[in-house]
Every structure is written in C-alpha cells, then in structure tokens.
Amino acid sequence: MMHQVEQKRLVKNEDIVYSTVRPNQEHYGYIKTPKDNLVVSTGFTVIENNKEISSSKYLYFFLTQQRVTSELQQIAEHSTSTYPSIKPSNLEDMKLFLPLLDEQKSIADILVSFDDKIELLRAQNKTLETLAQTLFKEWFVKFNFPNATGEMINSELGQIPKGWRVFRLNELIDTINGYSYKGKELVENSNEALVTLKSFNRNGGFQTRGFKPFEGNPKSTQEVVIGDLIVAHTDLTQDAEVLGNPAFVFESGGFDKMYITMDLVKVTSKVDNIDSAFLYYVMKDRKFKGHCIGYSNGTTVLHLSKKAIPEYEIALPEDLKLAEKFSKIALSTTDKISNNILQIQSLEKTRDALLPKLMSGNVRVN
C-alpha cells in the first residue's frame, strides 16, 4: 500500500506528509498541487502511495484515525530517542483493511465531502471577519463613516471628526482577571475546564486544545460561556504573537463549565447597546496590538500590565451612536460565525464517528 516512505525529500502531488515526532499531536497533511521544489524536513516522513492497489486519500484517512495515531504514539513513547518518535518502518509495517480500489475511492469521496464542507465554512468565517474588520477600519480609523461632514478637530490622538472625542476603554468596559490555579487542581477528568493561553491560536481565533480539566474554587466572575470575549495577558515568547489578542469563546469542548486562567482577562461592555462584538474589533486593530506591546514587560515571558486594556484610547462619536450601529453589524457577523462553528463541530463529529466504521468495513460503500 505504502510504496515508499522516505525522509528529507521533494514532495509530489498526492503524497502524504506525516510527522515522526509525537504522533498524538496530529501533524500530518495530504499534498495537493505543491509548489515547485517543496521539501519536508527530517522531522517528517513522506509516504508515496502505490496507486495500483490503493487510493492516496483512503490511505490518508486511515493514517489520521485516532486509533492509529494513538497506536503510533505508544510506539513513539517506547523509542530510544530523546523525545517520542517513530520510524518510517513503523508506518510501513501497519496492516489495514483494504477493499477494492473503486470502493476505496468511494469511501474517500464521502470523507472528502465532509472536509470540503468544513473548509468552506472556515473560509466563510474568515471572510465574514475580514469584512467586519474592514468596515471598522473605514469608520473608526479612516473616518469614512455614513453622513461624515469632513469637519475635523484636534485631539490627543490627532485630527478626529467634529462631534467625536477620545474615550479610554475603561469608560466602556470592565475587565476580570483570570484564576490563579495550583498544579494539584489539574486532573485527568472533570466536567470543568480551565481556558488557558494555549486556547489562543497563534494564527488568530480560539481553540479547545488549550483546555485543561481541573477541580478548583475560582470565582463565579471568572467563569466564561460561549460568546464571551477574552484577551491574552501573557505570552510565552518574545515575539508577542498572542499578547493582547482578543478571542471569542466559541466552543466548550464538551465541558459543563469553563474558567479563564490568570494569563487571560475577560472583557465585558458596561455601555448599553455596545456589544462585545464591537470591542472585539477595537482590539483587533493593529494600534491596540502596538499599545499592548508597549505595556508589556518580562525577559523570558511577556506580561501585560493591568493598566494596558483600560488605558487604551480610541476616538468615537460623543453620543456613541455610530459605535452602536457597528455593534449591531458586528454582532450579526459574530452570530453567523458562531453558527458556522456549530455546523463544523457537527460535521467533524459525524465524520469522526463514520471514519473508523468505513475503515474497518463495518460500513460498506457500493
């Protein structure tokens, strides 16, 4: 089935790239129309499929099953290297149920249809956020808002429209610090979880991989629910990739309750008709990011000053009507994104339940 498994080589169309380090981290990919001279590092193995007897996509789905990654992780943990790793031969020695080639392709097509729909919804979410971010920049940075007269006045932030003034965020928001937990409070299983710094995807957005099951005594105010806005108050790197980044809690990871850790803060609006969706785009602006970096300190780990978020300044209309209008638009966008994420979760759950049944032959496809 696996015609060749090699390291440090050019990858071709329909090759499978699979990490040989810590398989449980699920670092793998299916190569489609690669760029010229694309090479993978020695930390990955490249699987070239024997197309006469197996479908490349079918083989990819087989290797990405949780059962398979768990099996490979067990092998990796017994390796003699300094960190858990597998050898290409461990992949070559694996046995799998292999129906006729046409059925393999049909199975792969079913699973691909799930992945395509998931990617479509993710792309739609990215587009929705980009559109809202662009509108925010037009109205509140470039001042190209509806019924703008063009009359400007001086302020500490420079020229701003007449009828506007400079607000500090502490006039609009409340911030709640996260829970300082102890190591002994982390457990294997619990219906409660800590939302941690790892919940912030470095490419933007929120992820449940950062959740830690725990049993502790946080304050009720430190609890977050789906739709809450949180901000990263710490960064483990000097690049400040996540420091000051905002994110919505869009997923629960199956936990009944979620609480933020001391590395995060929860941000809530204290102004009627100003939703957290508006505040999210305020904090997505690059000026806010630069402001947070200026309020950070630390040599190996960056920490954000408690004054950073409350002292951020932004120009807004004195009556806040335009902010309220944008808030409605942003809330609608956020609701659509949230609904798409729910669809993605449902599709992933169905696909993950179907995958092992198709791979084992318990469910057959004509």
Task: Write the pLDDT tens digit of every residue in 133-171.
Answer: 999 999 999 999 999 999 999 999 999 999 999 999 999
Task: Provide the pLDDT for residue 36.
Answer: 79
* Structural domain span for residue 63: 2-98
Question: What is the per-residue pLDDT across 39-77, written as a single tens digit (0 to 9) for each?
Answer: 877 788 888 877 778 888 989 998 888 888 888 888 888
Left if phi > 0, otherwise alpha if psi is -120 to 50, otherwise beta: which for 18? beta
Q: Running along the chain, 366 residues long, what does each successive block of 10 average in pLDDT?
A: 56 86 86 81 81 86 88 86 82 84 91 95 95 96 94 95 96 96 94 93 79 95 95 85 92 92 95 93 94 89 92 96 96 94 93 90 80
Residue 12 falls inside a structural domain: yes
pLDDT value for 2: 53
Q: Can you tell me whether residue 103 is helix, strand or coil?
A: helix
Identify whether residues 68 and 173 lie together within a single domain: no
- Domain shared by 179 and 313, yes or no: yes
CATH code assigned at 90: 3.90.220.20
**Number of structural domains, the chain?**
2
Position 366 in a domain: no
Q: What is the pLDDT of residue 93?
A: 84
Say if residue 202 is in the same domain as residue 57. no
pTM of the model: 0.83
d(CA 283, CA 260): 18
How many C-beta atoms surround the C-beta of residue 13 within 10 A?
10
- Tokens 């440090």 belong to which residue? 8
The whole-number pLDDT of residue 106 equals: 92
Which pLDDT value is given to residue 89? 84
pLDDT on residue 109: 93
* Shared-domain flag, residues 175 and 307: yes
Mean pLDDT estimate for the chain: 90
Mapping DSSP to helix (H, G, I), strand (E, B) and coil, where does residue 137 land?
helix
DSSP-assigned letter for residue 166: E
> Does 211 lie in the same domain as 66?
no
- Structure token pair of residue 309: 């978020």
Percent of the chain predicted with pLDDT > 70:
98
